[in-house]
Amino acid sequence: MISVLFVCLGNICRSPMAEGLFNAKIEKSGLGDSIKSDSAGTSTYHLGKQPDPRTLETLKKHGIIHHHRGRQVDFDDANRFDYIIAMDQYNFQDLKYMIPNGFKGLFLMRNFDHMEKGADVPDPYYGDPDGFEGVYRILDRSLDGLIRYIRDNHNL
């Protein structure tokens, strides 16, 4: 089983959206028995909280129902997950200090985006609902690239 952890700051907007969309994509592609995912935050801001209502509404608009409770990344996640995917450079840098040296599965989400490779996934928290739709579109293309990467590197 290949495992993927999506990480942002608070674990209520970008990372749970990535998790919900990723799960829908892997189920649709028949990989649900081969890949699992979760999401977490680098902060403790929203521990135990449900995703932002705008995140859930955006997913629902695209036919995805997602249930999640916010949690914080911990040192052992590097032992539980093959890939840890940061939504932006800020969280990527934090993760480099939180996970053990030698972990080879740490990536920026948009390393897999063919349109803006290496850019940050913007945080829509302080914006309007259109920002959540924009994040959805970025994640949609980036996750397609991540799934191709996993398939190619794990012969799926």
Catalytic residues, which ones? Answer: 8, 14, 123
CA angle 57, 24, 155 (to 5 degrees): 150
CB 5 within 8 A of CB 44: no
Length of the chain: 156
Whole-angstrom distance, CA of residue 9 vs CA of residue 148? 26
38, β-bridge pairs: 5
CB 14 within 8 A of CB 87: yes
